[in-house]
Structure 1
Amino acid sequence: MASTDTIKKGRIGVFALAMLNIVAVVSLRGLPAEAEYGLSSIFYYIFAAIVFLIPVSLVAAELATGWSEKGGIFRWVGEAFGPKLALVAMFMLWIEVTVWFPTALTFGSVSLAFMGPNHSFDQALSENKFFVLAIVLAIYWIATFIALHGTEAFSKVAKWGGLIGTVIPGIVLIVLGFAYFFAGNTPQIQLGWDKLIPDFSNFNNVVLAASIFLFYAGMEMNAIHVKEVDDAPRNYPIAIAIAAIGTVCVFVLGTLAIAFVIPQKDISLTQSLLVTYDDMFAWAGISWAAPIMAACLALGVLAGVVGWVAGPSSGLLVVAKGGYLPRFWQYTNKHGMASHIMLMQGLLVTALSVVFVVLPSVQAAYQTLSQLTVILYLVMYLLMFAAAIHLRYSQPNRPRAFKIPGGNGGMWFIGGLGFVGSLTAFLFSFIPPGQISVGSPEAYVGILVVLTIIFVSVPLFIYKARKPHWKDPAVTDFAPFTWEIENVHPGVINPSDKVTHTLNQ
């Protein structure tokens, strides 16, 4: 997951929109997890793109152009099912990012560990749980400090950190990895057309692959820009197709580059990307570049975290000011940032990071929190896909600048494909992967189940406890839902073809 700058007003070309989506999605952090599968990783990447990436992009574009008022996912789900489930969806987006931070920052701490001159010492340091915990917390609170200073501060870090810490390392990884292969070195994976199809008789092969869905998460953030695309019904799907192909290519080539260099039995979720760079630079005779690359990757992690500290917290602030969270959580600092929400997020990140000390290894903690992130994010996506299908019936005449072609059948196909794909990945995410040591399988599953129940229950309790005085009368830019204006229940057929803000005029 990565953040993107807001696009200035103007028209966006097909290629520009495609690149915007690629940059929003691509991250190198998770590639070692899929390098476990060798050539068969190609199958998983393409499968997840078809059943998740493309449906998310198209469904979010229709929702964003039909209901563009403040609130994002809260608005979309609320129009279909009411504010209770809308609060669940918005809270899932915020809490999954909170859970994601320790995993992303684990990668950052490993990157910093590999900046030393002694490879053996660096690797031992990266496996030290207390070192990882200290660095995770240090980077997170630095990122929070930057984000609290407003949009201008964190957008600069996100922009340049994304370029230096993701784009450039990605290019280097692919170029050197394939140069290594074409130079005649023996690849560490088995090649052959028969290796492209996974061994479905081994159920463990499917479990870890569910994490690929998280790789593709975030495309919905750019759906709002479809309104700035000329001839959106024609050009937006083309841009999405280009973005999907480009994203898949980056992930596939980057994963194979790691698999060429690192034997499957030696792959580590947290270390293998850095070890790959070390080995490739040594092969190319430029070992001095390894610490520089480690520093770049660490900067990329900081950039991503800064953007994600601010983004979902700002979205939750909008919902809070609509009267769905107590006034305490609506407080903003002089820079307009949701300081109380962000500080609460910091405390949760700190508590979750302690898991690194409790679980048997850094890798076990990494896998557990990664899967929990996938589970929580998929709850939000399940609600989004269901809302999109439902709104075709409850608000059939609502103007949509972009509409999935094929009528309601087209929406059922695309939205249904995304829903079924998300539900499948959701269920698989609770199964311990056989390739990774996660300690006790029972404890692993128990932690995921208990935390999922807790995090889904929190917004339900908050909604039940809401009070009239939570809504700030000074807030006038949070538009009511369409069904509120028409004084009907959510989900009731709405024949109006007017946008929400004109219905009460």
Structure 2
Amino acid sequence: MTTNKKMNFWGFFTLTAAMLMSADEYPAFAQSGLLAVVCLFLAGLIWFLPVALCAAELATIDGNNEGGVYTWVKNVLGARWGFVAVFFQWLQITVNFITMIYFIIGSLSYVLKWDALNTNPWLKWLCFLLIYWGMTAWQLGGVSNTEKIVNISFTIGIVFPSLVLLVLGLIYLLGSGQVAFNTNWASNWQTLTQHFSIATIVPYILAFTGIEASAAYITDLKNPRKNYPLELLTLVIFAIVFDSLGGLSVAAVVPVANLTLNQGVIQAVGQMFARTIPLLHWGVNVIGLLMVLGMVGEISSWIIGPVKSLFVTAEDGILPHYFLHVNRHDVPVRLILVQGLIVSVISFLLTVVFGGNNGAYQMAMSLTVMLYLVTYILIFVAYLRQIKQKNKPERTFKVPGGKIGQTLVATIGLISSLIVVGSTFIPGSNFKAISKLSYLLIMIAFLVVILAITLLIYRLGTQRPKKTDYNWKIRHRKVEDVQRTVFPQGRYQHELKYIEKSLDDEKQKVTHYFSPSSKRDE
């Protein structure tokens, strides 16, 4: 019998390192100038580390090996809140698509010198729909071809342009010594204390989301109790350095007044080429097209993956049986179409109703963070609740510091998550699309309606008869199957496998398969 080979420190680091490459968020960081470094440090210390530590322990508890976030929360708080956690984890992807496709449209508009593509709301929304539904149609035939493309698009479309931005930024700084943001720390501190807006923290939290997808594989790491905390510290340091340099590179050449959130990176690259290597100014078009390729590959890998996380609720019969169906290519077509409808409606509201400008971009980021933070709040509540349990199940990893340290870490994470959720109801200082009161009411209404729909789905699902004749089986993905060039929040932990039913042979009737560790919540 052979045993799975454990990952070393570097192997596990690469499993999560894709979250360092977040070039589409650099313009949002650039808005804060030098204070971006402070914000990234705080987000990493008081939010990212608690999330990663608590998620890692929950993932390695006996009985939590299958089911991901749904099982972590369900086994402590019950199936209702487990469903809310996994449903919101999936739903945030639908809003996150909007900022990602805005990034594509902004780059295309810049390269093609077609301003209307980025400024005309109806034209922008039409382009949005063509991109999203085009990639969705492409995915219905399965993800095997996409995975090959993503490996290439990540390297030449995300990593390479990010490095070009950083290198050009360094050349520009060494050559001119001038930047478009305030470099005086005392003055920046005065700005922070006198004009601080809690809403500015939103993009920094978004940059760190998704670590729970990697925490599920901590049992594949050598000596996790020692190595995992070191992995996290290394990851936070790298993330702070890379994201700080990226944000400051954009801020160095693009004044805040001229900054467009979905075009900021390409604006900065264009300015840097013009000021450092004028003969290669045409290179900005090449970089722009490469960034489009990178983001197309990224979005393609997200369209199907996160939907699969909802299938773990099938054992409890929560989602309607009709939607828990896959085609011959292992694709959950019906849920994908529901996802597309949600994306289309929200994108219409943000693009056409709210103009699709910086304000709409900021609102999309806030909605994404709001939805995702509901999942994290439930993770922290579940973690704090299980600390008090007697005869606790065995686990591979424990948050350091005993019960006091565990409570402290989870409490810090819970409080910071609640604060960040509160911040999403406050528009940033640069938000001009609608009044602050209208913004607040819209955000509150959105959260209340989504939560009500989620609880209604759960209530109706648990009242209808359970069915087990699904045309697929499910398994937790092995670590060697994980595509490391996909951002963690876009990954999926479960693999679906279509099984054809035979009408002639009743013995071949497919029944729903779950591992013995999965238990129905009564």
After the TM superposition, which residues 391-470 of structure 1 pair with which residues of structure 2 at under 5 Å, given as runs? 391-394=386-389, 396-466=391-461, 467-470=463-466
- The residue type equivalent to 1:96 in the other structure is Q
2:35 maps to 40
Question: Which whole-Å CA distance do the structure 1 matches of 2:387 and 2:519 have between them?
Answer: 14
Q: What is the CA-CA distance between 1:42 and the residue it aligns to? A: 0.6
Q: Decide which moves more: 90-99 or 463-472.
A: 463-472
Question: Which whole-Å CA distance do the structure 2 matches of 1:392 and 1:151 have between them?
Answer: 40
Kindly indicate whether the alpha-carbon contact (under 8 Å) linking 1:79 and 1:481 is maintained by their aligned counterparts in 2.
Answer: no
Kindly indicate whether the alpha-carbon contact (under 8 Å) linking 1:79 and 1:391 is maintained by their aligned counterparts in 2.
Answer: no
For structure 1, the 5+ residue unaligned runs are 1-7, 490-505
1:349 maps to 343
1:147 maps to 139
Question: Which whole-Å CA distance do the structure 2 matches of 1:164 and 1:458 have between them?
Answer: 41
1:502 maps to none
Question: Which whole-Å CA distance do the structure 2 matches of 1:377 and 1:456 have between them?
Answer: 12
1:172 maps to 164
1:131 aligns with 2:123: yes
Question: Which whole-Å CA distance do the structure 2 matches of 1:50 and 1:455 have between them?
Answer: 30
Q: What is the CA-CA distance between 1:101 and the residue it aligns to? A: 0.9
Question: Which whole-Å CA distance do the structure 2 matches of 1:83 and 1:33 have between them?
Answer: 37
Q: What is the CA-CA distance between 1:110 and the residue it aligns to? A: 0.8
Q: What is the CA-CA distance between 1:37 and the residue it aligns to? A: 1.2
1:476 maps to 513
2:500 maps to none
Q: Output the TM-score relative to the length of structure 2.
A: 0.86
Change (3 A) 1:281 1:322: farther
From 306, 313, 326, the counterpart of 1:332: 326
Q: What is the CA-CA distance between 1:412 and the residue it aligns to? A: 1.0
1:101 maps to 97
Q: What is the CA-CA distance between 1:207 and the residue it aligns to? A: 1.3
Kindly indicate whether the alpha-carbon contact (under 8 Å) linking 1:70 and 1:479 is maintained by their aligned counterparts in 2.
Answer: no
Change (3 A) 1:200 1:186: closer
1:15 aligns with 2:10: yes
Q: What is the CA-CA distance between 1:382 and the residue it aligns to? A: 0.3
Question: Which whole-Å CA distance do the structure 2 matches of 1:441 and 1:196 have between them?
Answer: 25
1:80 maps to 76
Report percent identity of matched pairs. Answer: 27
Kindly indicate whether the alpha-carbon contact (under 8 Å) linking 2:318 and 2:460 is maintained by their aligned counterparts in 1.
Answer: no
Kindly indicate whether the alpha-carbon contact (under 8 Å) linking 2:154 and 2:298 is maintained by their aligned counterparts in 1.
Answer: yes
Post-superposition CA distance 1:236-269 (Å, at most 9, x none): 1111111111111110000010111111222221
1:308 aligns with 2:307: no
Change (3 A) 1:423 1:315: same
Q: Output the TM-score relative to the length of structure 1.
A: 0.89
Question: Which whole-Å CA distance do the structure 2 matches of 1:396 and 1:428 have between them?
Answer: 38
Question: Which whole-Å CA distance do the structure 1 matches of 2:181 and 2:224 have between them?
Answer: 43
1:320 maps to 314
Q: What is the CA-CA distance between 1:478 and the residue it aligns to? A: 5.6
Question: Which whole-Å CA distance do the structure 2 matches of 1:25 and 1:147 have between them?
Answer: 26
Kindly indicate whether the alpha-carbon contact (under 8 Å) linking 2:23 and 2:158 is maintained by their aligned counterparts in 1.
Answer: yes
Q: What is the CA-CA distance between 1:24 and the residue it aligns to? A: 3.5
Change (3 A) 1:115 1:458: same
2:479 maps to none
Kindly indicate whether the alpha-carbon contact (under 8 Å) linking 1:188 and 1:263 is maintained by their aligned counterparts in 2.
Answer: yes
Post-superposition CA distance 1:341-372 (Å, at most 9, x none): 11110111111111201114522221212111
1:266 maps to 258
- The residue type equivalent to 1:476 in the other structure is Y
Kindly indicate whether the alpha-carbon contact (under 8 Å) linking 1:322 and 1:471 is maintained by their aligned counterparts in 2.
Answer: no
After the TM superposition, which residues 237-276 of structure 1 pair with which residues of structure 2 at under 5 Å, given as runs? 237-276=229-268
Q: What is the CA-CA distance between 1:482 and the residue it aligns to? A: 5.8
From 201, 213, 218, the counterpart of 1:209: 201
- The residue type equivalent to 1:108 in the other structure is I
1:53 aligns with 2:48: yes
From 359, 364, 368, the counterpart of 1:369: 364
Question: Which whole-Å CA distance do the structure 1 matches of 2:443 and 2:327 have between them?
Answer: 35
1:500 maps to none
Q: What is the CA-CA distance between 1:9 and the residue it aligns to? A: 5.3
Post-superposition CA distance 1:141-174 (Å, at most 9, x none): 2222233222313322332222222111111111
2:219 maps to 227
Question: Which whole-Å CA distance do the structure 1 matches of 2:190 and 2:197 have between them?
Answer: 7
Q: What is the CA-CA distance between 1:449 and the residue it aligns to? A: 1.0
Kindly indicate whether the alpha-carbon contact (under 8 Å) linking 2:105 and 2:117 is maintained by their aligned counterparts in 1.
Answer: no
- The residue type equivalent to 2:148 in the other structure is K
After the TM superposition, which residues 16-31 of structure 1 pair with which residues of structure 2 at under 5 Å, given as runs? 16-24=11-19, 26-31=21-26
Change (3 A) 1:208 1:29: same
1:495 maps to none
1:386 maps to 381
After the TM superposition, which residues 188-207 of structure 1 pair with which residues of structure 2 at under 5 Å, given as runs? 188-195=180-187, 197=189, 199-203=191-195, 205-207=197-199
Kindly indicate whether the alpha-carbon contact (under 8 Å) linking 1:25 and 1:219 is maintained by their aligned counterparts in 2.
Answer: no
Change (3 A) 1:177 1:168: same
- The residue type equivalent to 2:91 in the other structure is I
For structure 2, the 5+ residue unaligned runs are 470-510
Q: Decide which moves more: 78-87 or 67-76.
A: 67-76
Question: Which whole-Å CA distance do the structure 1 matches of 2:137 and 2:445 have between them?
Answer: 31
- The residue type equivalent to 1:71 in the other structure is G
Post-superposition CA distance 1:22-58 (Å, at most 9, x none): 2145311121112111111110000000011111111
Q: What is the CA-CA distance between 1:293 and the residue it aligns to? A: 1.0
Question: Which whole-Å CA distance do the structure 1 matches of 2:264 and 2:391 have between them?
Answer: 50
Q: What is the CA-CA distance between 1:136 and the residue it aligns to? A: 1.6
Q: SS of the counterpart of 1:335?
A: coil
